[in-house]
Amino acid sequence: MAHPALLLAFSDHGATVTGDEFTDWYDNEHVPLRVDVPAFLSWTRWKAADGAQPTWAASYDIASYEDTLRPPYTTLAETRSEREARVLRDVGYMERRMYELIESPVLPPAAAFDENKRTRFVRFVSTDVKPSGEDVLNRWYDEEHILMLSKLPGWVRSRRFVLREWSRTGVEGQNDQQPVPRYLAVHEWESVDAVLDPEVRKSFLTPLRAELDTVLTVLHGRTFEYYRHWERK
């Protein structure tokens, strides 16, 4: 059975492409071309809320990873406009990640969850562990961490994914080919005040988290705020 997938893209317009053109291309050409492709189930852009770079993220729920390997999805890259080809060539940073959903026993969404709306904030947390550490990572997320997050004000939903493929391009991006972490957690929030509070974060330092720290090789989180989404008519 095919698992649901997630396409996640991080980007910055760089020095050659202006911010106005980048936004116009993304909002009025790039995303709209994907709205009528059956593999896509949602289309959302986010802007950094943590002061870090890249500044932009786009997330797309996808029916399955297998759907991205055949038309009409593959036709998108084969029929790019002249402008799209130029922007993708000259953009400062473009990182594309494709994930599959991990069907773990995570909690259902909060009562405030509405699949037809977007939360105000999203936090993307990338992790990698030593080969011996996958069981500890899964236990931490499934038995402890997401349960703790769900009790905080503002939490809406958490999902976990495993990487299937990635690419990093752009004038600056092509110079960094450090592999993308294998695991991703996507936490959706209406407010991030509680989860970012230093005292709350201290409460996350449990014995299981200490065990996880012995096998973690990457733990990197980014917080973004809602910018725009699209709907299929």
> Hey, CA dihedral for 97, 127, 141, 163, is it positive or negative?
positive
Helical residues (DSSP H) of the chain, grouped into ranges: 19-25, 32-35, 75-78, 82-90, 134-139, 146-150, 193-196, 198-202, 207-213
| In the predicted structure, residue 94 carries a pLDDT above the cut 90 | yes
Question: Is residue 195 classed exposed, middle or buried when 0-12, 13-18 and 19+ CB atoms within 10 A define those classes?
Answer: buried
Summarised one tens digit per residue, pLDDT across range 139-189 is 999 999 999 999 999 999 999 999 999 999 999 999 999 999 999 999 999
- CATH number of the domain within which 80 lies: 3.30.70.100
Write out the DSSP string of 3-51.
PPEEEEEEEE-TTTS-HHHHHHHIIIIITHHHHT-TTB--EEEEEESSS
116 pLDDT above the threshold of 90: no
Quote the percentage of the chain above a pLDDT of 70: 99
Reply yes or no on whether the pLDDT at 107 is more than 90.
no
The pLDDT value recorded for residue 103 is 86
Number of domains in the chain: 1
Residue type, 204: F
Specify the pLDDT at position 67.
97
Q: What is the pLDDT of residue 152?
A: 96
CA torsion, ordered 57, 61, 66, 72, to nearest 10 deg: -80
Does this model's pTM top 0.85? My answer is yes
pLDDT of residue 106: 67
Write out the H or E segment, with its range, that includes residue 188.
strand 183-189
What confidence tens digit (pLDDT) does each residue in 178-213 have? Answer: 999 999 999 999 999 999 999 999 999 999 999 999
Which domain does 213 fall in, by range?
5-230
Residue pair 92/13 in contact by the 8 Å Cβ criterion: yes
Is residue 204 within 8 Å of residue 184, measured between CB atoms?
no
CB atoms within 10 A of CB 60: 21
Average pLDDT score over residue span 117-140: 96
Q: How confident is the model at residue 2 (pLDDT cuts 50, 70, 90)?
A: confident
| Cα–Cα distance for residue pair 132/206, rounded to 1 Å | 20
pLDDT surpasses 90 at 233: no
